[in-house]
Homo-oligomer: A and B are copies of this chain.
Amino acid sequence: MKDVASAAGVALKTVSRVVNDEPGVHPDTAERVRAAIERLGYSRNESARVLRSGRTATIGLVIEDVADPFYSGLSRAVEDVAIEHGCLLMSGSSGEQPGRERELVLAFCTRRVDGLIVVPAGDDHAYLQPELETGTPVVFADRPPGPGLDVDTVLAANADGAAIAVRHLLGHGHRRIAFLGDQPTIYTAAERLRGYREALGPLFDERLVAMRGAAPGPVREELARLAALDDPPTALFTGNGRLTVTVLRALPGRQGHDGPYEAGRWRLPGGRPVALVGFDDFELADLLAPGVTVVAQDPAGMGRAAAELLFRRLGGDTGPSGRLELPVRLVPRGSGELPGPYAARA
Chain A residues in the interface with B (C-beta under 8 A): 41, 43-48, 50-51, 56, 58, 65-67, 69, 72-73, 75-76, 79, 83, 88-93, 104, 106-112, 130, 245, 248-249, 254-256, 263-264, 282-284, 286-291, 300, 334
Taking a contact as CB atoms under 8 Å apart, the answer to whether A112 and B47 are in contact is yes
> A73 contacts which of B58, B67, B300 (Cβ < 8 Å)?
B67
Interface centre among A41, A43, A287 (most CB of B within 10 A): A287
Taking a contact as CB atoms under 8 Å apart, the answer to whether B79 and A41 are in contact is no
Docked Cα-Cα span, A43 to B112, in Å, equals 10
Known pairs A66-B76, A90-B91, A249-B287 / 5 extra A-B pairs, C-beta < 8 Å = A88-B111, A254-B287, A254-B289, A255-B264, A255-B289
Please classify the interface of chain A as helix (H, G, I), strand (E, B), loop, or mixed, using the class held by over half of its residues.
mixed
Docked Cα-Cα span, A70 to B255, in Å, equals 26
Given contacts A46-B112, A67-B76, contact A289 B256 (CB under 8 A): yes
Taking a contact as CB atoms under 8 Å apart, the answer to whether B89 and A255 are in contact is no
- Cβ–Cβ < 8 Å partners of A263 in chain B: 255, 263-264, 289
Given contacts A43-B109, A110-B46, A254-B287, contact A92 B69 (CB under 8 A): no
Specify how many copies of this chain sit in the oligomer.
2
Docked Cα-Cα span, A291 to B90, in Å, equals 38
Taking a contact as CB atoms under 8 Å apart, the answer to whether A75 and B67 are in contact is yes
Q: Which of chain B's residues has its CB closest to A67's CB?
A: B76
Taking a contact as CB atoms under 8 Å apart, the answer to whether A248 and B69 are in contact is no
Taking a contact as CB atoms under 8 Å apart, the answer to whether A75 and B79 are in contact is no
Docked Cα-Cα span, A43 to B130, in Å, equals 10
Given contacts A67-B73, A248-B287, A284-B288, contact A45 B92 (CB under 8 A): no
Taking a contact as CB atoms under 8 Å apart, the answer to whether A66 and B75 are in contact is yes
- Ranked nearest first, the 4 interchain pairs of A and B with the lowest CB-CB distance are A255-B289, A72-B72, A41-B130, A47-B50
Docked Cα-Cα span, A208 to B207, in Å, equals 56
Docked Cα-Cα span, A286 to B79, in Å, equals 32
Q: Which of chain B's residues has its CB closest to A254's CB?
A: B287
Can you pick out 27 interface pairs between chain A and chain B where the beta carbons lie within 8 Å of each other?
A41-B130, A43-B106, A43-B130, A44-B110, A45-B51, A46-B111, A47-B47, A47-B48, A51-B51, A58-B90, A58-B111, A66-B66, A66-B72, A66-B76, A67-B73, A69-B72, A72-B75, A88-B104, A245-B284, A249-B287, A254-B289, A256-B291, A263-B263, A263-B264, A282-B283, A283-B284, A284-B288
- Cβ–Cβ < 8 Å partners of A248 in chain B: 284, 287
Taking a contact as CB atoms under 8 Å apart, the answer to whether B110 and A290 are in contact is no
Q: Which of chain B's residues has its CB closest to A60's CB?
A: B88
Interface centre among A43, A44, A56, A291 (most CB of B within 10 A): A43
Q: How far is the CB of A260 from chain B (nearest CB, A)?
A: 15
Q: How far is the CB of A20 from chain B (nearest CB, A)?
A: 13
Docked Cα-Cα span, A263 to B249, in Å, equals 19
- Cβ–Cβ < 8 Å partners of A300 in chain B: 67
Taking a contact as CB atoms under 8 Å apart, the answer to whether A89 and B92 are in contact is yes
Docked Cα-Cα span, A2 to B108, in Å, equals 22
- Cβ–Cβ < 8 Å partners of A88 in chain B: 90, 92, 104, 107-108, 111
